[in-house]
Amino acid sequence: MILCRTPEEARRFRADLYRQGRSLGLVPTMGWLHEGHLTLVRTALTENDCVAVSLFVNPTQFNNPEDLAAYPRDEKRDRELLEALGTHLLYAPGATAVYRPGHLTSVRVADLTEVLEGGYRPGHFAGVTTIVAKLFALFAPDRAYFGAKDAQQARVIEQLNSDLDFGIEIRVLPTVREDDGLAMSSRNVRLAEAQRPMARLLYGALSAARASIARGGADAESVRAAMRMVLGKGEGVRVDYVSVADPRTLKELDGVINRPVLVSLAAYVGDVRLIDNLTVEPPGAP
């Protein structure tokens, strides 16, 4: 596996692939890899000649400095996991190689970034879209891989890809869950054993929403109330939002649910902020 620390090195790798006519899959990550990331890499390896993984804890997408400081990091462990899978290149730049002194450019997707996560994490999506646009420009991959756990991020990146004419195939793969339903996340490592039952309530709330929508005739507001009720069972669970929204516009829905919806939520378990979602179809949806 080739290790690149600077955009210049990564660009040379990309130029060699062009010359050889080989396709490239890109898996952007912030490291502390779990089975969700590894599934993205394995899939990318089956769909492309070469796979590049980026590992960069992007400071501009953290609206909270304590969250950035607490983000788990272990590059050696991540390197070994990627090497074992047969990854071709790891791009692990330092912060100043990415944001060189005097960096002034930021990429912003309107509307989609102002709701849900955007409402609670000001500036977060501008950080995400700026780093992803930089990675897309640098690697010009044929395909790029993201997890459905960050459903809003995936939707925003699809819009970015379309609006800026990158022409990349955006692959969004299903959320990988622990046996108890908890969505895999690099942040889970910060949960104490005693907090796990509370963290499980997130998937419990989504499952309650799914069950109520699957019965047919459910009203969006009552589904949100049902999710809040499940989350309310957890002492130490602090809810940021519960949402029943249009999967494309991400706008909240009202009234009877008669088409596929994105059901999502964000909550703190202690000081760990977790998000999760499901896309759910009512019976007989078009």
Decide: is 58 part of the binding site for ligand PAF (CB under 6 A). Answer: yes
In the complex with ligand PAF, the residue whose CB is nearer, 155 or 224, is: 155
- Figure out which of the listed residues 40, 53, 128, 245 binds ligand PAF, where binding follows CB under 6 A: 128
Size of the site for ligand PAF (CB under 6 A): 10
CA 55 to chain centre: 14
Decide: is 131 part of the binding site for ligand PAF (CB under 6 A). Answer: yes
In the complex with ligand PAF, the residue whose CB is nearer, 115 or 154, is: 154
Check 34, 37, 88, 103 and give the catalytic one.
Answer: 37
What tokens appear for 207 in the block? 């499952």
Subset of residues 135 to 174 that bind ligand PAF, contact rule: CB under 6 A: 150, 153
Residue 232 has φ and ψ, to the nearest 5°, of: -65, -15
What gap in Å lies between CA 240 and CA 282, rounded to an integer? 25
3-class DSSP state for residue 170? strand
What gap in Å lies between CA 67 and CA 71, rounded to an integer? 6
Are 75 and 92 within 8 A, CB to CB?
yes
Could you tell me which of 193, 162, 164, 166 has the C-alpha nearest to residue 180?
193
In the complex with ligand PAF, the residue whose CB is nearer, 14 or 37, is: 37
In the complex with ligand PAF, the residue whose CB is nearer, 29 or 195, is: 29
Could you tell me which of 79, 24, 39 has the C-alpha nearest to residue 55?
79
Computed over its alpha carbons, how large is the radius of gyration of the chain?
Answer: 19
Q: Mark whether 34 is an active-site residue.
A: no
Decide: is 30 part of the binding site for ligand PAF (CB under 6 A). Answer: yes
- Figure out which of the listed residues 10, 13, 25, 28 binds ligand PAF, where binding follows CB under 6 A: 28
Decide: is 264 part of the binding site for ligand PAF (CB under 6 A). Answer: no
Active site residues: 37
Residues that bind ligand PAF (CB under 6 A): 28-30, 58, 61, 128, 131-132, 150, 153
